Protein backbone atom coordinates (compact mmCIF):
# COMPACT_ATOMS: atom_id res chain seq x y z
CA UNK A 1 0.00 0.00 0.00
CA UNK A 2 2.82 2.41 0.86
CA UNK A 3 5.56 0.96 -1.36
CA UNK A 4 5.24 3.49 -4.18
CA UNK A 5 5.51 6.42 -1.73
CA UNK A 6 8.41 4.81 0.12
CA UNK A 7 10.33 4.41 -3.14
CA UNK A 8 10.55 8.18 -3.57
CA UNK A 9 12.42 8.38 -0.24
CA UNK A 10 14.48 5.20 -0.48
CA UNK A 11 15.55 5.16 -4.12
CA UNK A 12 17.91 8.20 -4.16
CA UNK A 13 20.32 6.94 -1.43
CA UNK A 14 20.06 3.36 -2.73
CA UNK A 15 20.93 4.47 -6.25
CA UNK A 16 23.95 6.41 -4.98
CA UNK A 17 25.30 3.36 -3.13
CA UNK A 18 24.43 1.07 -6.03
CA UNK A 19 26.48 3.18 -8.41
CA UNK A 20 29.61 2.54 -6.33
CA UNK A 21 28.80 -1.17 -6.07
CA UNK A 22 28.26 -1.45 -9.82
CA UNK A 23 31.60 0.25 -10.49
CA UNK A 24 33.32 -2.21 -8.15
CA UNK A 25 32.23 -5.11 -10.35
CA UNK A 26 29.82 -6.77 -7.90
CA UNK A 27 26.83 -8.09 -9.86
CA UNK A 28 23.17 -7.65 -8.99
CA UNK A 29 22.73 -11.44 -8.94
CA UNK A 30 25.54 -11.78 -6.38
CA UNK A 31 23.74 -9.28 -4.14
CA UNK A 32 20.48 -11.21 -4.61
CA UNK A 33 22.02 -14.51 -3.58
CA UNK A 34 23.86 -12.96 -0.64
CA UNK A 35 20.61 -11.31 0.44
CA UNK A 36 18.84 -14.68 0.34
CA UNK A 37 21.50 -16.16 2.62
CA UNK A 38 21.12 -13.21 5.00
CA UNK A 39 17.34 -13.80 5.05
CA UNK A 40 17.83 -17.45 5.91
CA UNK A 41 20.29 -16.44 8.64
CA UNK A 42 17.57 -14.19 10.06
CA UNK A 43 15.23 -17.20 10.17
CA UNK A 44 17.88 -19.23 12.02
CA UNK A 45 18.25 -16.37 14.53
CA UNK A 46 14.47 -16.43 15.08
CA UNK A 47 14.52 -20.19 15.71
CA UNK A 48 17.25 -19.62 18.31
CA UNK A 49 15.18 -16.73 19.73
CA UNK A 50 17.91 -14.16 19.08
CA UNK A 51 15.35 -11.60 18.03
CA UNK A 52 17.63 -8.54 18.00
CA UNK A 53 20.01 -10.35 15.66
CA UNK A 54 17.08 -11.48 13.52
CA UNK A 55 15.82 -7.91 13.28
CA UNK A 56 19.23 -6.62 12.16
CA UNK A 57 19.49 -9.38 9.53
CA UNK A 58 15.96 -8.69 8.28
CA UNK A 59 16.86 -5.03 7.75
CA UNK A 60 20.12 -6.00 6.00
CA UNK A 61 18.20 -8.38 3.75
CA UNK A 62 15.86 -5.59 2.69
CA UNK A 63 18.75 -3.20 2.01
CA UNK A 64 20.38 -5.83 -0.18
CA UNK A 65 17.06 -6.42 -1.94
CA UNK A 66 16.88 -2.74 -2.79
CA UNK A 67 20.50 -2.58 -3.88
CA UNK A 68 20.34 -5.57 -6.23
CA UNK A 69 17.57 -3.95 -8.24
CA UNK A 70 19.38 -0.62 -8.35
CA UNK A 71 22.63 -2.29 -9.50
CA UNK A 72 20.68 -4.26 -12.11
CA UNK A 73 19.20 -1.06 -13.55
CA UNK A 74 22.69 0.47 -13.79
CA UNK A 75 24.25 -2.61 -15.42
CA UNK A 76 21.21 -3.45 -17.58
CA UNK A 77 18.58 -5.64 -15.93
CA UNK A 78 17.94 -9.20 -17.12
CA UNK A 79 14.98 -11.55 -16.97
CA UNK A 80 17.16 -14.09 -15.10
CA UNK A 81 17.99 -11.47 -12.48
CA UNK A 82 14.31 -10.59 -12.07
CA UNK A 83 13.48 -14.27 -11.64
CA UNK A 84 16.21 -14.76 -9.02
CA UNK A 85 15.13 -11.63 -7.15
CA UNK A 86 11.50 -12.75 -6.95
CA UNK A 87 12.46 -16.25 -5.81
CA UNK A 88 14.81 -14.85 -3.15
CA UNK A 89 12.05 -12.53 -1.90
CA UNK A 90 9.61 -15.38 -1.36
CA UNK A 91 12.23 -17.58 0.29
CA UNK A 92 12.74 -14.74 2.76
CA UNK A 93 9.04 -13.96 3.24
CA UNK A 94 8.17 -17.59 3.97
CA UNK A 95 11.21 -18.44 6.10
CA UNK A 96 10.50 -15.85 8.81
CA UNK A 97 7.00 -17.03 9.83
CA UNK A 98 8.13 -20.67 9.47
CA UNK A 99 10.97 -19.88 11.88
CA UNK A 100 8.58 -18.39 14.43
CA UNK A 101 6.40 -21.49 14.15
CA UNK A 102 9.44 -23.71 14.59
CA UNK A 103 10.65 -21.78 17.63
CA UNK A 104 7.48 -22.00 19.69
CA UNK A 105 4.59 -24.50 19.64
CA UNK A 106 1.78 -21.90 20.18
CA UNK A 107 3.09 -20.09 17.10
CA UNK A 108 2.64 -23.04 14.76
CA UNK A 109 -0.99 -22.63 13.69
CA UNK A 110 -0.76 -18.83 13.22
CA UNK A 111 2.49 -19.32 11.27
CA UNK A 112 0.82 -21.95 9.07
CA UNK A 113 -2.14 -19.67 8.36
CA UNK A 114 0.19 -16.78 7.60
CA UNK A 115 2.24 -18.84 5.13
CA UNK A 116 -1.02 -20.01 3.52
CA UNK A 117 -2.12 -16.38 3.13
CA UNK A 118 1.30 -15.56 1.61
CA UNK A 119 0.71 -18.34 -0.93
CA UNK A 120 -2.61 -16.81 -1.93
CA UNK A 121 -1.17 -13.30 -2.21
CA UNK A 122 1.75 -14.63 -4.26
CA UNK A 123 -0.61 -16.42 -6.67
CA UNK A 124 -2.85 -13.36 -7.01
CA UNK A 125 0.20 -11.16 -7.60
CA UNK A 126 2.12 -13.38 -10.03
CA UNK A 127 -0.94 -14.54 -12.00
CA UNK A 128 -1.93 -10.91 -12.53
CA UNK A 129 1.61 -10.09 -13.69
CA UNK A 130 1.73 -13.03 -16.11
CA UNK A 131 -1.64 -12.28 -17.71
CA UNK A 132 -0.92 -8.53 -17.87
CA UNK A 133 2.38 -9.27 -19.60
CA UNK A 134 0.62 -11.52 -22.13
CA UNK A 135 -1.65 -8.56 -22.94
CA UNK A 136 1.40 -6.37 -23.58
CA UNK A 137 1.16 -4.17 -20.51
CA UNK A 138 4.44 -2.54 -19.45
CA UNK A 139 6.34 -3.25 -16.23
CA UNK A 140 7.27 0.36 -15.44
CA UNK A 141 4.97 2.15 -13.02
CA UNK A 142 4.59 3.60 -9.53
CA UNK A 143 6.84 0.84 -8.15
CA UNK A 144 9.67 1.77 -10.54
CA UNK A 145 11.19 -0.31 -13.29
CA UNK A 146 10.56 -3.98 -12.49
CA UNK A 147 11.03 -7.34 -14.18
CA UNK A 148 7.23 -7.72 -14.41
CA UNK A 149 3.99 -5.85 -13.75
CA UNK A 150 3.26 -5.02 -10.10
CA UNK A 151 -0.36 -4.93 -8.95
CA UNK A 152 -0.79 -2.65 -5.96
CA UNK A 153 -2.45 -4.10 -2.87
CA UNK A 154 -3.18 -3.46 0.78
CA UNK A 155 -0.27 -5.66 1.93
CA UNK A 156 2.96 -5.11 -0.02
CA UNK A 157 6.66 -5.28 0.79
CA UNK A 158 6.74 -2.33 3.16
CA UNK A 159 3.83 -3.61 5.24
CA UNK A 160 5.36 -7.09 5.34
CA UNK A 161 8.61 -5.73 6.74
CA UNK A 162 6.69 -3.65 9.28
CA UNK A 163 5.02 -6.83 10.57
CA UNK A 164 8.34 -8.71 10.59
CA UNK A 165 9.82 -5.92 12.70
CA UNK A 166 6.87 -6.17 15.10
CA UNK A 167 7.36 -9.95 15.28
CA UNK A 168 10.96 -9.43 16.41
CA UNK A 169 10.20 -6.58 18.81
CA UNK A 170 7.21 -8.35 20.41
CA UNK A 171 7.73 -12.11 19.81
CA UNK A 172 5.28 -13.00 22.57
CA UNK A 173 2.51 -11.42 20.47
CA UNK A 174 3.42 -13.32 17.30
CA UNK A 175 0.16 -15.38 17.24
CA UNK A 176 -2.04 -12.28 17.34
CA UNK A 177 0.10 -10.31 14.91
CA UNK A 178 0.36 -13.25 12.49
CA UNK A 179 -3.40 -13.80 12.44
CA UNK A 180 -3.97 -10.07 11.87
CA UNK A 181 -1.40 -10.08 9.07
CA UNK A 182 -2.98 -13.18 7.49
CA UNK A 183 -6.40 -11.52 7.54
CA UNK A 184 -5.01 -8.42 5.82
CA UNK A 185 -3.36 -10.65 3.21
CA UNK A 186 -6.72 -12.26 2.46
CA UNK A 187 -8.20 -8.77 1.99
CA UNK A 188 -5.34 -8.04 -0.40
CA UNK A 189 -6.22 -11.15 -2.41
CA UNK A 190 -9.84 -9.97 -2.61
CA UNK A 191 -8.62 -6.56 -3.74
CA UNK A 192 -6.50 -8.09 -6.50
CA UNK A 193 -9.38 -10.32 -7.63
CA UNK A 194 -11.51 -7.22 -8.12
CA UNK A 195 -8.65 -5.49 -9.95
CA UNK A 196 -8.17 -8.52 -12.20
CA UNK A 197 -11.89 -8.71 -12.97
CA UNK A 198 -11.88 -5.02 -13.93
CA UNK A 199 -8.66 -5.28 -15.96
CA UNK A 200 -9.08 -8.56 -17.83
CA UNK A 201 -12.80 -8.79 -18.50
CA–CA separation, 171 vs 135, rounded Å?
A: 44
Domain 3-200 has CATH 1.20.120.1760: yes
Q: Which of 104, 105, 107, 146 is nearest to 125 (CA)?
A: 146
Quote the pTM value.
Answer: 0.85
Quick: pLDDT tens for 145-175.
555 566 667 778 889 999 999 999 999 999 9
* Residue 1, pLDDT score: 58
Dump pLDDT digits (tens) for 132-145: 888 766 555 444 45
Query: What are the domain boundaries of the chain?
Result: 3-200
> What pLDDT, in 10s, does the model give residues 20-60?
999 999 999 999 999 999 999 999 999 999 999 999 999 99
Amino acid sequence: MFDAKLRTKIDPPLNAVALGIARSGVSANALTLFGALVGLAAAVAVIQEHFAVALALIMLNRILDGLDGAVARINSASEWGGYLDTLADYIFYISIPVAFGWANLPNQLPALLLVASFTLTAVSFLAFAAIAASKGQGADGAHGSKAFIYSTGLMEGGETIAFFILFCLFPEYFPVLALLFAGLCVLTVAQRIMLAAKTFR
